[in-house]
Amino acid sequence: MLIDLTPEQEEIVATIRKFVDTEIVPVASDLDHADEYPHAIVEQMKELGLFGATIPTEYGGIGVDYLTYAMIVEELARGWMSIPGLINSHLIMAYIVKTFGTDDQKKKWLPAFASGEKRGGLALSEADAGSDVQAIRTTARREGDVYLINGSKMWITNARYGNTFALMAKTDVDADPRHRGMSMFIIEKGHPGFRVSRDIKKLGYRGLKTCELVFEDFEVPAENLVGGKEGAGFRYVMDALETGRINVAARGLGVARASFEHAISYAQHRKTFGVPIAQHQLIQEKLADMATKLEAARLLTYSAAKAKDQGQRVDLEAGMAKLFATELAMEASTEAMRIHGAYGYTEEFPIERYFRDSPLLLIGEGTNEIQKIVIARQLLKRYPA
């Protein structure tokens, strides 16, 4: 790699790689096909401190930088793309509290997030509001010391087994522009008016339950309003989603890498016409293209992570990394299936799982079509006529 790693970074990545190879890879396909939540893996992730990966050490986290975090996510996704989904929206929630929360909110929530005692994610999307965040309809009306939440959220990661979420709701339905009426709350399960209505069956991204949440006069203490002020939620979440896009880019990188590694290994063992298929020119072209794009995706992802570490706004960098790496995941899994032939289409090899998981990455944390709009807008700002 062109990026020099510290001994600490090398040790962390080596530890995660061993964890993936010994604890995730052997069970990933069985859990995926059964759509079974990985309870045992979650407990091991708690012990490794992964739920506090980017949470500062003063709050009980391990406080890694975003470059290290990207490499951790890449390794986890190489084993099973669903696994880094356990920490993605969870750490987005933690980022919101860490960056915008009051001192009391940081002291209350961050240690519990870091240990995994309180874990969950981001309750943002709705049935009619995905990429268009300002179209949300969930409302929060203040009554004394509480807010009453009414509405629903769709496609919520960790919803079934998580217990704490960062919820976006409208505190001013008449605000113009709309984003000025949106506020962020930390909410917990176990209280009347908050229910998980159903699990959503998916093509891939299995094991990790994705659900619909419904709120009916759900009471949230006013002290759970992030930052203690209304109307700032949209700004909070737009900033936090940069970290989510670095995660999704790293997941695309991990899936693409796994696809490539299986493909190049298989191509050297599978023989046709008396020689390994790796000796055939068309297969060599596929491998060359995959490897070249994989290196480009890695550099884009790591570059975005390093820019985030330097405190920069990384809409452009994270958008480019997410766009390129996730498109590569789809392409590489498809090419790996072609190289494996009929075997790639069976459940005997993990290729079909990579192929099913890849489309989620094209959609998650803002569709790739939205990423192109974000990229173009930032380019126009940087290169004014």
Confidence of residue 215 (pLDDT cuts 50, 70, 90): very high
Torsion angle defined by CA atoms of residues 321, 323, 328 and 331, in that order, rounded to the nearest 10 degrees = 180
Is the confidence at residue 188, as pLDDT, over 90? yes
User: What pLDDT does residue 2 have?
Assistant: 66
Q: What is the rounded end-to-end Cα distance, in angstroms, of the chain?
A: 37
User: What pLDDT does residue 291 have?
Assistant: 98
User: What pLDDT does residue 271 have?
Assistant: 96
Is the confidence at residue 1, as pLDDT, over 80? no
- Residue 11 falls in the annotated catalytic set: no
Angstrom distance (rounded) from CA 189 to CA 165:
9
Name the strand (E) or helix (H) holding 216: strand 210-221
Nearest to 25 by CA among 87, 85, 81, 88: 81
CB of 236 closer than 8 Å to CB of 308:
no
Q: What pLDDT, in 10s, does the model give residues 69-128?
A: 999 999 999 999 999 999 999 999 999 999 999 999 999 999 999 999 999 999 999 999
Q: What pLDDT, in 10s, does the model give residues 232-266?
A: 999 999 999 999 999 999 999 999 999 999 999 99
* CA-based max dimension of the chain: 79
Mean pLDDT for all residues in the chain: 96
Q: What is the mean pLDDT of residues 148-170?
A: 97
Going from N- to C-terminal start, the domains of the chain cover 7-115, 121-233, 235-382
Is the confidence at residue 182, as pLDDT, over 90? yes
User: What pLDDT does residue 130 have?
Assistant: 80
The domain covering 121-233 belongs, at the CATH homologous superfamily level, to Butyryl-CoA Dehydrogenase, subunit A, domain 2 (2.40.110.10)
Angstrom distance (rounded) from CA 225 to CA 214:
19
Distances (CA, A) of 38 to 42, 202, 314: 6, 17, 32
Q: What is the mean pLDDT of residues 218-225?
A: 98
Nearest to 355 by CA among 376, 332, 339: 332
Confidence of residue 4 (pLDDT cuts 50, 70, 90): confident
User: What pLDDT does residue 122 have?
Assistant: 97
The DSSP string of 289-310 is: HHHHHHHHHHHHHHHHHHHHHT
> Among positive and negative, which fits the CA dihedral 366, 371, 374, 378?
positive
Angstrom distance (rounded) from CA 38 to CA 31:
7
Angstrom distance (rounded) from CA 301 to CA 27:
28
Q: According to the CATH classification, is domain 7-115 in 1.10.540.10?
A: yes
Q: What is the mean pLDDT of residues 279-284?
A: 98
143, 335, 365, 369: the active-site residue: 365
Q: According to the CATH classification, is domain 235-382 in 1.20.140.10?
A: yes
Task: Write phi, then psi, for 167 (nearest 5 degrees).
Answer: -110, 130
